[in-house]
């Protein structure tokens, strides 16, 4: 078949997560790719999606199957960090395509390419690097390929012109999400039953599939030094789809795809409390019986909302706690204006589970401040915890501060992955990268083997999930910089 645009979601699960991918991590559908595919399709082009995480990849097979006029690879993860770590596999796929047929034009976009367009164009055998969201840019590239537009008129794209690397002016952000980016191409994805939620997201459930991750908003109005989310949008900002549009998507997912487990990937879901309340009202009215996970800052939690959110199916809230030490948080422009323990207690009392996100290796961290953070995590005893090492993700202020310092950044893009063998976090003012990583890996084990934590999981969810956690701890993650 002849395809105008073949969207490829590159994936990199095994190399990114090592053996944790076998049972514990999520396999999430490429929601951003799905949004863009629907947009291009609605403009009258024939599109397809190929998800490497589900379907594998063979250049000859895919090119002969789809016969694409343009290939678009969106390096965009379901957390900001996932973009850079996926570049390794994206590069392999690009090289395989060009080896098989060097004449097929390839465009690459996403958070990492938007943050480092010149480097991406120099390093990769791509024809176009998309800077920004991508919807307008992809249509412009197609118009150029069809002879309807001059290449220098394509906004928000880097390209090679003769012997030069050129970039045009930035493209505008999509002004009205409901009007222009109002559909997910769910029907173009592989069977949604092949995707699965994170293990903890389904504590208390028998099945982790079918599963969907999706957005109800784009961007974040905050500007934390360690975050790269706004590299895609060019500035701190947040834009929303209407509640009616979100409900329309969920209604389709429930009735056409039997979806129960949903993760809202909004960087900051709880900000506009009236909007969240309206969404909850509509979910309660429809009685979908969902298992929803969403993200929030500690200081955006509105206690009046919690009961309604629980009734609407919000079983999990992920809180960016980051550090127990206020000075360390302020050092990366992350201010928390509420009492963390009080907020966590309120959420638990309303029957909502918590995933606490913690960071080790922030610039002002010492062994003592990292221990404070670990002690706080154990004291809060959230139903799940993520322990991150601080990484200088491209597009973040931390990357800008360290990009020209020798031997500081990871040697490969996969080194930005939290669970990869090549992981290399930032050193702090007081600690080496290996000090930070060693502390993080020990903290992970200490938290999940803690008796108070395991007893809480047993009482809430049952022995099956205690056993699952203990089996997880038997998986040893290999680290290059910690090797003897």
Q: Tell me: the pLDDT tens digits for 306-327?
A: 999 999 999 999 999 999 999 9
Q: Which residues of 61-81 are buried (b: 16+ CB within 10 A; e: fewer)?
A: ebbeebebbbbbbbbbbbbbb
User: Considering the domain boundaries, does residue 337 fall inside one?
Assistant: yes
Question: Across residues 140-166, what is the average pLDDT?
Answer: 92
Same structural domain, 159 and 203: no
Same structural domain, 16 and 119: yes
Q: What is the pLDDT of residues 255-295, one digit of tens each?
A: 999 999 999 999 999 999 999 999 999 999 999 999 999 99
Question: Across residues 393-414, what is the average pLDDT?
Answer: 92
CATH number of the domain at 97, please. Answer: 3.40.50.2300
CATH number of the domain at 247, please. Answer: 3.80.30.20
- Confidence band of 14 (pLDDT split at 50, 70, 90): low
- Confidence band of 98 (pLDDT split at 50, 70, 90): very high
Return the closest-CA partner of residue 271 out of 320, 331, 212: 320
Question: Across residues 64-84, what is the average pLDDT?
Answer: 85
Is the pLDDT reported for residue 15 higher than 70? no
Query: Can you give the pLDDT at residue 26?
Result: 81
Same structural domain, 151 and 226: no
Same structural domain, 113 and 196: no
User: Considering the domain boundaries, does residue 177 fall inside one?
Assistant: no
Domains in the chain: how many in total? 2
Query: Can you give the pLDDT at residue 12?
Result: 63
Q: Which of 105, 135, 167 is the last residue of a domain?
A: 167
- Confidence band of 50 (pLDDT split at 50, 70, 90): very high
Query: Can you give the pLDDT at residue 323?
Result: 98
Same structural domain, 333 and 288: yes
Same structural domain, 228 and 339: yes
Query: Can you give the pLDDT at residue 412?
Result: 92
Same structural domain, 228 and 359: yes
User: Considering the domain boundaries, does residue 67 fall inside one?
Assistant: yes
Is the pLDDT reported for residue 22 higher than 80? no
Is the pLDDT reported for residue 79 higher than 70? no
Expressed as residue numbers, the domain containing 136 is 3-167
- Confidence band of 178 (pLDDT split at 50, 70, 90): very high
What's the CA gap between 338 and 232, in Å, rounded?
29
pTM exceeds 0.85:
yes
Is the pLDDT reported for residue 163 higher than 90? no
- Residue 398: which H helix or E strand, with range? helix 397-402
Return the closest-CA partner of residue 138 out of 168, 166, 106, 94: 106
User: Considering the domain boundaries, does residue 402 fall inside one?
Assistant: no
Same structural domain, 131 and 262: no
User: Considering the domain boundaries, does residue 236 fall inside one?
Assistant: yes
Q: Which of 152, 167, 182 is the last residue of a domain?
A: 167
């Amino acid at each position: 078949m002849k395809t105008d645009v073949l969207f490829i979601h590159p994936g990199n699960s095994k190399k990114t997560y090592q053996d944790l991918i076998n049972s514990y991590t999520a396999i999430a559908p490429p929601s951003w790719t799905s949004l863009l595919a629907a947009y291009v399709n609605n403009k009258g082009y024939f599109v397809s999606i190929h998800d490497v995480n589900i379907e594998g990849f063979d250049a000859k097979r895919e090119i002969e199957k789809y016969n694409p006029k343009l290939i678009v690879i969106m390096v965009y993860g379901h957390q900001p960090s996932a973009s850079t770590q996926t570049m390794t596999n994206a590069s392999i796929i690009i090289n395989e395509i060009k080896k098989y047929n060097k004449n097929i034009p390839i465009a690459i976009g996403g958070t990492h390419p938007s943050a480092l367009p010149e480097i991406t164009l120099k390093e990769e055998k791509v024809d176009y690097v998309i800077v920004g969201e991508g919807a307008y840019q992809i249509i412009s590239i197609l118009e150029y390929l069809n002879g309807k537009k001059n290449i220098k008129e394509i906004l928000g794209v880097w390209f090679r012109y003769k012997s030069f690397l050129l970039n045009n002016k930035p493209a505008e952000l999509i002004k009205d999400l409901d009007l222009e980016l109002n559909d997910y191409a769910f029907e173009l994805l592989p069977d949604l039953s092949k995707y699965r939620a994170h293990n903890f997201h389904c504590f208390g459930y028998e099945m982790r599939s079918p599963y969907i991750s999706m957005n109800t908003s784009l961007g974040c109005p905050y500007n934390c030094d360690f975050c790269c989310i706004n590299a895609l949008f060019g500035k701190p900002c947040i834009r929303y789809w209407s509640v009616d549009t979100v409900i329309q998507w969920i209604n389709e997912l429930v009735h056409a795809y039997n979806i129960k487990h949903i993760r809202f990937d909004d960087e900051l879901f709880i900000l506009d409390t009236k909007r969240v309340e309206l969404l909850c009202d509509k979910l309660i009215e429809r009685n979908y019986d969902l298992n929803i996970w969403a993200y929030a800052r500690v200081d955006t939690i509105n206690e009046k909302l919690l009961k309604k959110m629980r009734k609407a199916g919000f079983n999990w809230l992920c809180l960016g706690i980051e550090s127990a030490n206020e000075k360390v948080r302020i050092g990366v422009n992350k201010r928390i204006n509420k009492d963390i323990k009080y907020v966590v207690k309120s959420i638990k009392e309303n029957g909502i589970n918590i995933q606490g996100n913690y960071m080790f290796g922030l610039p002002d961290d010492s062994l003592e401040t990292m221990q404070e953070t670990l002690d706080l995590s154990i004291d809060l005893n959230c139903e799940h915890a993520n322990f991150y090492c601080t990484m200088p993700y491209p597009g973040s202020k931390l990357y800008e501060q360290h990009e020209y310092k020798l031997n500081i950044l990871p040697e490969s893009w996969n080194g930005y992955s939290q669970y990869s063998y090549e992981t290399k976090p930032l050193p702090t003012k007081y600690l080496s990268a290996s000090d930070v990583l060693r502390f993080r890996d020990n903290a992970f084990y200490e938290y999940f083997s803690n008796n108070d934590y395991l007893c809480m999981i047993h009482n809430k969810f049952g022995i099956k999930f205690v056993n699952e956690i203990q089996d997880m701890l038997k998986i040893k993650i290999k680290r290059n910089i910690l090797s003897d």
